[in-house]
Amino acid sequence: MLLSILFTIFIILCSIVLYFKVTNSNYWKKWNVLQISDVSLEFLFSKESLPIIVKRMYDEHDVPHIGTTSATIPTLIVKNVDDIQAVLAGDFQSFNSRGIISNANDLLADNLLFMNDFHRWKLIRQKLSPVFTSAKLKNMFYIIERCARDFVELVEHNAHLRKVPFNLISRYTTASISAAVFGIDTQVKSTMESPFVELAFRALRPSFIQNVIVVIANTFPRLYKLLQLKLFGEHEEFFVGAVKTVLESRRHDTTKRYDFIEICLELQKNGIMQDFSTGYKLEPTDELMAAQAFFFFVAGADTSANTMHYSLLELSNNPKILAKLHEEIDKVFEGGAGELTYNDIDKLQYLDQVINEAMRKYPPVGVMQRLCTKDTVLPSGIPIAKGNTIMIPVFGLHRDEKYFDDPHVFDPDRFSPENVSKIKNYAYLPFGEGNRICIGVRFARLQVKAGLAWLLRRFTLVEQDNCVPEFEKSPFGLRSPDARYELKLRDI
């Protein structure tokens, strides 16, 4: 039924889009900006990921700006790094919105840190930021390390699961986030036995319906609100219910666990949250806390899995890099302690370089957007009106030879201590930049490094001849779950 309704709406909207396409076909030309075909229509009728489409536009037109439309909304693809810096940081007051629309009845999506409501976003971000301090993460690291060990045990004892490595890695990132949020369940033998694994798979797997809903939300926000559509409605009852149950069971438990639920309980114990600079107040309800827990899964499970996945894929293509990385990991594990410590992670410098290069070649988010919230002018002189959208072509920037020599070559030495300072500011954006930079950067790095360190301590990769991934259709990411490489037990 929902599919029929959405298809009818889709046909109607396409007619409206065609009308506005003609109306706005010269919108950017008055500023002497090249204008090309509508980017959202091309995405809907293509089998390609949106970052691939935007990168192709980036490569085909040697200009600093590319004008287009997103259905009814004038949209500017910005290639100039000074303009990108202004959008993400310098002129944040004009670009504080991601332009991702949600409905108040959508308990999960409307309370995520992707929200447009600036005052609510600012307050929630203030209250969540302490979760990701070095001190908090150091206390939480025992959870991540346990999950990494359980992950490797799962890989070692399930040869048939290794045939689809992305699913294995997704299980690790999802289960480790689950443990970081809810704590380690002492009733199960392995942290990989998480009830949230399948939930995350379903929530994050791109689908035609979800793609249509995203397009409606971001190009026809009034219609989206009128129809009361939800991005994550099918997961609401289960996830909100699970968080409420855990919160209630833990309210009378004084055991220190250093997980996210403990932070939620502290926030609720302190009462009404308030931003003293604006006076904005918000009650830390169970539903609000559930949405923040869900945010961990939405923002972290798939992006971290992709980073690990592409790191391993490229290591299978580059045996010399793999050998150098094995040497570093083995050195850290010397002494036979049987576990990694928080301080050990800092010693894995070359692994950090490998991960950084994987995120350059395959950025976790391939295209970012910002909605202009008040009229402004970019440093290059292009006026941007309130309601216009800016697209930042992260994938295009990361593969641009102006910023990275031989951009299609996997070279971790780009990020060596002596070379990393040479990278142009705002040309490398794996986590974004500015006030809306990914709040979970530190957690993600710990999670990915611990998982890869344990995996490559026990396993190596069978060399293959330059396997190139094919990306599936997605509005923001670069997903290639069918890409293959073979893990082989090491003799250590």
Give CA separation, 194 vs 150, 155, 166, 186, 449, in Å: 12, 16, 17, 12, 21
Angle at 355 between CA 472 and CA 158, to 5 degrees: 70
Residues in the chain: 492
> Is 438 annotated as ligand-binding?
yes
Q: Which fold has domain 2-489?
A: Cytochrome p450 (1.10.630)
Dihedral of alpha carbons 393, 434, 351, 257, sign: negative
Using CA atoms, how far apart are residues 275 and 378, in angstroms rounded to an integer? Answer: 30
Q: How far apart, in whole angstroms, are the C-alpha atoms of residue 434 and residue 54? A: 22
Please provide the DSSP assignment of 424-457 as one string: PTTS--TT--GGGS-TTHHHHHHHHHHHHHHHHH
Chain centre to alpha carbon of residue 436: 12
Predicted model pTM: 0.90
Residue with tokens 């030309």: 29
Q: Are 61 and 46 in contact (CB under 8 A)?
A: no
Whole-angstrom Cα distance, residue 67 to residue 36? 6
CA dist 356 → 271, 363, 431 (Å): 40, 9, 11
Residue type, 55: K
Taking the C-alpha atoms of residue 351 and residue 217, their distance in angstroms, rounded to an integer, is 39
H-assigned helices in 129-284:
134-157, 165-182, 196-204, 208-219, 221-226, 233-250, 260-269
Please list the pLDDT of the chain residue by residue as tens digits (492 residues).
Answer: 555 655 665 665 565 555 555 556 789 999 999 999 889 888 888 889 999 999 999 999 999 999 999 878 899 999 999 999 999 999 999 999 887 766 676 766 666 656 677 888 888 888 888 888 888 899 999 999 999 999 999 999 988 889 999 999 999 999 999 889 888 876 778 999 877 666 666 655 656 666 667 667 766 667 767 777 777 777 777 778 888 888 888 888 888 888 888 888 999 999 999 998 888 999 998 888 888 888 888 788 889 999 999 999 999 999 999 999 999 999 999 866 678 999 999 999 999 999 999 999 999 999 999 999 999 999 999 999 999 999 999 999 999 999 999 999 999 999 999 999 999 999 999 999 998 888 889 999 999 999 999 999 999 999 998 888 999 988 888 999 999 999 999 987
